[in-house]
Chains A and B, each alone.
Chain A
Amino acid sequence: MLNILTVFISVAVVQSAPTAAVSFVKDVAPIIVRRCTGCHGEKINLGGYRADTFRNMFKPGVSGLTSVEPGRPEGSNLLRLVTTKIEQVRMPKSDSALTTTQVGLIKRWILEGAKLDSGNPNTLLRSLAGARVHPAAPTSYSKPLPVTALSFVPNSNSIAVSGYNEVTIWDTVTGKMIRRIGNLPHWIKAIQFTKDGSKMVVAGGTPGEYGEVAVIDMVSGKRMAVLGVMSDAAFSLALSADNRYAAAGFADATVQVYDLQKLELRWSTRVQSDWITGLSFSKDGRFVVSGSRDTTVKVLEVATGELFATYAGHNRQIGKYRGQFPVFSAMFDSTSGDAFSAGAGEWIQRWNPEKAKAEAGDAGDMEERFAKAGHARYLEHGLLDAVYSMHLRNGKIYATSLQGAISIIDPQGMVPFRVLVPTVESSFVSAMPEDGSKIVTGAFSGTLRIYDSSSGARISQFVAQPGQSTGIKTTRR
């Protein structure tokens, strides 16, 4: 009776099935990732079962029962567990059951031989699908979206602003939106333009599950290449001075360098342990510095991806500058080859990669090194909060804080800091055009504030959000 029923059901399923085979990568993997890997994943594997990769899905858990038997849904414990009527046993445990459609897809996939249609069986399922196809941006935003990325479009008055599934471009003079570049990740964390303005590189993703670094052709407004995909969002971005290379840092502490001409990955490394928050190429293109929330700044060789030096000045146990400070911004000096790094703490730190390497040493000379002050210079910035962005223009450092304050710091440390704009509103990011005439902060409320970089006077402000825009407010006197 049971057999007949099973046959009947399978026949019914096969008959009603569309002709195209079920794709594991497109149809099944997303279900497994969303509904199973929370408990049966890389971090937790309850019941001794992991479903984080295609290969692991086939390995039985502690029950010893075959989890997936190609061609035989009835012999697959996975299907039995997601369909059983016994509430205590049914997966996902203490959660709603899979939908009939989802169960149907898994069952058909098993019936059709449980194959992997593309990719490597050892790749994490959440990365297996490769670059995602992103939906269009909402026509207008229902809620204000905090600005998380800003970049001036080269040789223009317009500025690119992070949106939801898009980058929007605004005229800073009129406060009008002039362009929307859509079908991008919903969370955009960094935007960079090539010098000629022909390409835009965008880093972002879906926090906690997907990261993407994409190149957009500015003529068509279309994504022309995806340089990198990761299992957590991309956080930071930098282009080399000659625009040959792009570097991206991810939430999972990976740093990747891509060849912007060939549009391919050069190398990928992971030498830090937290979000990569700030990246910058040295002027000679030899190094890329990578600042992380883990308090370290690493100097990596662009050619090889090898670690050249570690700068540990943001994590000092003793002395005047002691404290553990996450780093949110890092950049190179335009002339000297020195680097600047900043984050929490009262100082922007100026240091040299070569000297940092010489000072690093090993455990043997630890005490001696601790006794030394080190070569770094600590430039007081006078801001009350952590520094989230830094720019080097007109021979000065412009630093902006989490509370939207702006301060001007002498890179040589000869002139005391000058607070240009006091605390305004929570802001993650700021931008300056090449000529350094203006500085723009992007606020938590979605508001852009445009200041004169020498007087600190607010030129104008507007909400840079589709559907939330209130128009320009000019405050020039």
Chain B
Amino acid sequence: MKQISALCISLLISSMGTTGFGQTVPNNGLSISPPHIELTSKRDYVQMIVTSSYGKTVHDVTHQAKWTCSDQKVIRAVNGKVTAVGNGSATISVQAEGRTTKATISVTGFSKPDPISFKFETVPVLTKQGCATGSCHGSPHGRGGFSLSLLGYDPTIDRNSLILDGFNRRTNTIDPDESLILKKPLLALPHVGGKRLLTGRTPCNILRGWIAEGANASLPDVDVKDIELSPGGEHTFHSPFVNQQLRVVAKLSDGTVKDVSSIATYESSHPNVAKVDADGYVTALSRGQAGISVRFLDKLKTVHFTVVEEVPGFKWVERPEVNFIDKLVNQKLKQLQFVTSTICTDSEFIRRTTLDITGSLPSPEAAQAFISSRDKYKRRSLIEHLLNSEAYARFWALKLADIMRVSQQKMPNGGAERFSDWLVDSIRRNQPYDAFVRELLTAKGKVNQVAPANYFVAIPTVEERTEITSQIFMGTRVECAKCHNHPFETWTMRDYYSIGAVFARTNINQGSLILTNEGESYHPTTHEKMSPWGTPKSINLDNTDRRIAFSNWLTQKDNPFFSRVEVNRIWNELFGKGIVDPVDDFRSSNPPANIELLDALAKEFVSSGYDRKHIVEIICNSQTYQRSAQASPLNTADDTLFSHCKVRMLSAEQLKDAIGTVTHQLPNLESSMETETSLIQKLEERRSNFKSRLGESQASLSTLLTLADHDSIQLNRKLFEVKNRMAFATQRPYPERNEFTIAFGQPKRDTACTCERQSAPTLVQALELLNGGAAYDLVLRGSVIYEPLDNSTLIDMLYMSAYSRHPNAAEQATAMKFLTSAKERKSAITDLIWTIINTREFVFQH
């Protein structure tokens, strides 16, 4: 039975070759990589890969192919892994899909000793078998009294643990099978970590062999310079071809090149999409994208796979593309066979865009005007209008203030105000982002004069400065590298302490941010004095502000993080999900959902001169942004590729202000400038009043009197409130936290992580909306505004305020019936507003 099905498959494959791809597609044949191998020692091996291609499509046939060696006394080949049997040369011929290819192999040095290398074999095996993970012996204090370096980052620690620390307890060179280090993972002795080794397999052979050869743990002064993955980059699986064999080659600093496919560690970012076995053989399982990360000692590389499945009923519908965003998003959707949703309605558009750009709901008047406008370019105009508003600057400053930890506790004595004003001003005048970051990171002087210096006040330690700066501007969580090399990335302790060295001389002293002449960052294990990141070696470190070189490095055009991280943050704000998600966790094992899109946006950002407003504008103008939240059966499964709008709850501040808008308890932002001007005018009037009464000679006295005058005080207070938009939550970079906003996830600003803002729905939120004091008070006051209106206008106004749309006939009828049949009109109105703010259409952005 098994044989028959195998036969069927091979028939299927060969028919694909001839008829499936037709006569029009050239049969390019098989290719074998590498075409020539030299095995130079007894244990040397090479993982070969055989690829079959038809026109532009290629697929892996390494395991399906038939491998025949011309001389079995020289080599052996199993699933493409070629091992030496004896000195000589041989040809290997590979047959697959009715075609043949050949490779030549020579074996030398078979009889010379080939000892197992502790650093390049034993240590990687301990990582591969899971011994050195953070939850087992790789944890800071080890497990069960035995500790290893996390994922083999420091072979010296491993050598000490295996041999020196245990009084030779763990290895037994005279009778290797009696070694504790073998008996435990083989479960010949109780082992909390369970079975970790299988007898006869390569990892077990390496560990056992290393002990049998004398457990030699000398550490050569050679490092892994790089690992090379074949195939690297990106690949697509089209069923029925669902496999790919990987080859990993390590390039050592002494020039040695070594196949390490059998001892590298493989891990899939999405094991439900594509899995990978211990020998680097990838199998696609379902539609989607997965990164396969390959680790060898401190080197990590990722190969990305897209798995395409034929979706029944899928038919790509071409929709107009406005800019490169649509083109790149659609390209990915088309490949993975997800359809796009249609474009959202005008009502949805104005509500969504106004919330995203200004934080508030559109006023009912604005919504009404927009819906009824016949202007062909009204969406574009609205975006432009909103981006030029003060509300945009204030709302986006709030987002920056979140991650820069702005609060009165962390930036005391007016620092929070000054820093916030500086943030708002930077966004208001659309300061190029690179200039903004340079100004921030190189700030010095009195913190009550130099606003950006407060950034360093909020993060007083070198560690915080290192970690938070990296997290915000490089999207990288380097804090792992404080104690050990980063387990999922190529960040090392050296990197961490090099960045630390940048900030080691930045001190806050008596209200001033000063640069001192001393202060260094030392590597905690090697005690080496680290040179600051970004500073060229030739520069004398004593007389320079190390932060300048770092900022220049960070903001240069080809910095791999800077522009990508920022455009991704903007994207995340507008879509509720980053292209890399979470936004501050950039690493090759957390690949972007659409790498071309991210790169194109970053390129656009750089070429626009780091123009944040421009990026928001092109995104909002894209069809991708303007898609409906309505998913179809053909795209509902997609939650990463932006085929439809992601429905998300309003943020705490947005919701608070939205209730204010519906209940008409917030000053109209469109007219607030007027109010401000009129208040200033009134104050000026009072001043001149005093002046005229006292005469020109008593000018200073009149100013004093104005300050003490009751009316002037009131006017000043009012002016302060209007100017700082105190009535709003979305319009202040550091709004106070209260029960309502805490319930809806307003962050405490303890960290630089956007994840601190909670977006998960909770029961407390439902209670706040149903019974909460804050909402109740606003609804009660709002009902007074609605009361004088006739029922029809009232209902329309309410719908327009809350949803930016008119009620439909059924809604209109229900509400009308409710109001007319109510015994007490005022409480009926209260109930109606109440009902509206508790609907999902209100609480969510869509």
Name A residues whose Cβ lies closer than 8 Å to a Cβ of B. 34-35, 37-39, 41-44, 92-96, 138, 141-146, 148, 164, 186-187, 189, 206-209, 233, 235, 251, 274-275, 293, 402, 426, 428, 444
Contacts and interface: CB of A to CB of B under 8 A. Distances in A.
A94 B195 contact: yes
B175 A186 contact: yes
A146 B168 contact: yes
Nearest to B215: A143
A92 B187 contact: yes
Given A95-B198, A208-B183, A426-B164, A43 B192 contact: yes
26 contacts: A38-B186, A38-B190, A38-B195, A39-B187, A39-B195, A42-B190, A43-B192, A93-B195, A94-B195, A95-B195, A95-B198, A138-B174, A141-B174, A143-B214, A144-B173, A145-B174, A164-B174, A186-B175, A187-B169, A189-B167, A207-B166, A208-B184, A208-B189, A251-B169, A275-B145, A402-B164
Give the interface centre of B172, B183, B190 by most chain A CB atoms within 10 Å: B190
A143 B211 CA distance: 10
Given A38-B191, A96-B199, A274 B145 contact: yes
Contacts of B192: 43-44
Contacts of B183: 208-209
Interface in B172-231: 172-175, 178, 180, 183-184, 186-192, 194-195, 198-199, 214
Interface of B: 145, 163-164, 166-170, 172-175, 178, 180, 183-184, 186-192, 194-195, 198-199, 214
Nearest to B193: A44
A143 B173 contact: yes
Nearest to A37: B190
A233 B169 contact: yes
A144 B170 CA distance: 15
Nearest to B173: A143
Contacts of A93: 195
A428 B168 contact: yes
Contacts of A142: 173-174
Contact of B188 (A34, A43, A233): A34
B430 to A, nearest CB: 52
A132 to B, nearest CB: 13
Nearest to A427: B164
Contacts of B188: 34-35, 38
Contacts of A143: 173-174, 214
Nearest to B188: A34
B198 A94 contact: yes
A325 to B, nearest CB: 13
Nearest to B194: A44
A38 B178 contact: no
A22 B166 CA distance: 38
Contacts of B167: 146, 148, 189, 235, 428
Nearest to B183: A208
A278 B183 CA distance: 27
Nearest to A41: B190
Nearest to A273: B145
A143 B215 CA distance: 10
Contacts of B180: 207-208
A163 to B, nearest CB: 10
A186 B164 contact: no
Contacts of A189: 167
Give the interface centre of B163, B168, B173 by most chain A CB atoms within 10 Å: B168
Given A43-B192, A95-B198, A274-B145, A145 B187 contact: no
B145 A207 contact: no
Contacts of A186: 172, 174-175, 178
Q: Give the 8 A-B CB pairs with smallest separation, nearest first.
A: A38-B187, A143-B173, A41-B190, A207-B169, A146-B168, A208-B180, A43-B190, A207-B180
A311 to B, nearest CB: 21
A52 B21 CA distance: 62
B511 to A, nearest CB: 31
Given A38-B195, A143-B174, A274-B145, A148 B187 contact: no
A442 to B, nearest CB: 11
Contacts of A444: 163-164, 168
B192 to A, nearest CB: 5
Nearest to A251: B169
Contact of B170 (A37, A145, A148, A207): A207
Nearest to A35: B188
B187 A95 contact: yes
A43 to B, nearest CB: 5
Contacts of B173: 142-145
B168 A187 contact: yes
A37 B188 CA distance: 8
Contacts of A428: 167-168
Contacts of B164: 402, 426, 444
A402 B172 CA distance: 20
A186 B180 CA distance: 13
A291 B435 CA distance: 60
Given A141-B174, A145-B173, A206-B178, 6 more contacts: A44-B191, A95-B187, A146-B167, A148-B168, A186-B175, A233-B169
Contacts of B189: 37-38, 208-209
A402 B168 CA distance: 13
A187 B164 CA distance: 15
A270 to B, nearest CB: 15
Contacts of A95: 186-187, 195, 198-199
A373 B192 CA distance: 40
A86 B135 CA distance: 33
Contacts of B187: 38-39, 92, 95
A42 B184 CA distance: 14
A187 B173 CA distance: 12
Give the interface centre of A43, A44, A141, A207 by most chain B CB atoms within 10 Å: A207
A233 B180 CA distance: 12
A444 B214 CA distance: 12
B219 to A, nearest CB: 13
A208 B181 CA distance: 10
B277 to A, nearest CB: 15
Contacts of B195: 38-39, 93-95
A474 B195 CA distance: 50
A293 B190 contact: no
Contacts of A141: 174
A44 B199 contact: no
Contacts of B168: 145-146, 148, 187, 428, 444
A275 to B, nearest CB: 7
A233 B175 CA distance: 17
A402 B163 CA distance: 12
A164 B168 CA distance: 12
Contacts of B186: 38, 95
A395 to B, nearest CB: 30
Nearest to A96: B199
B197 to A, nearest CB: 10
Contacts of A148: 167-168
B731 to A, nearest CB: 47
Contacts of B199: 95-96
Nearest to A36: B187
Contact of B194 (A39, A207, A209, A275): A39
Contacts of A207: 166, 169-170, 180
Contacts of A275: 145
Give the interface centre of B163, B184, B195 by most chain A CB atoms within 10 Å: B195
Give the interface centre of A93, A143, A206 by most chain B CB atoms within 10 Å: A143
A44 B172 contact: no
Nearest to B175: A186
A275 B165 CA distance: 12
A465 to B, nearest CB: 10
A261 B568 CA distance: 79
Give the interface centre of A38, A209, A275 by most chain B CB atoms within 10 Å: A38
A41 B187 CA distance: 10
A428 B167 CA distance: 7
A39 B178 CA distance: 19
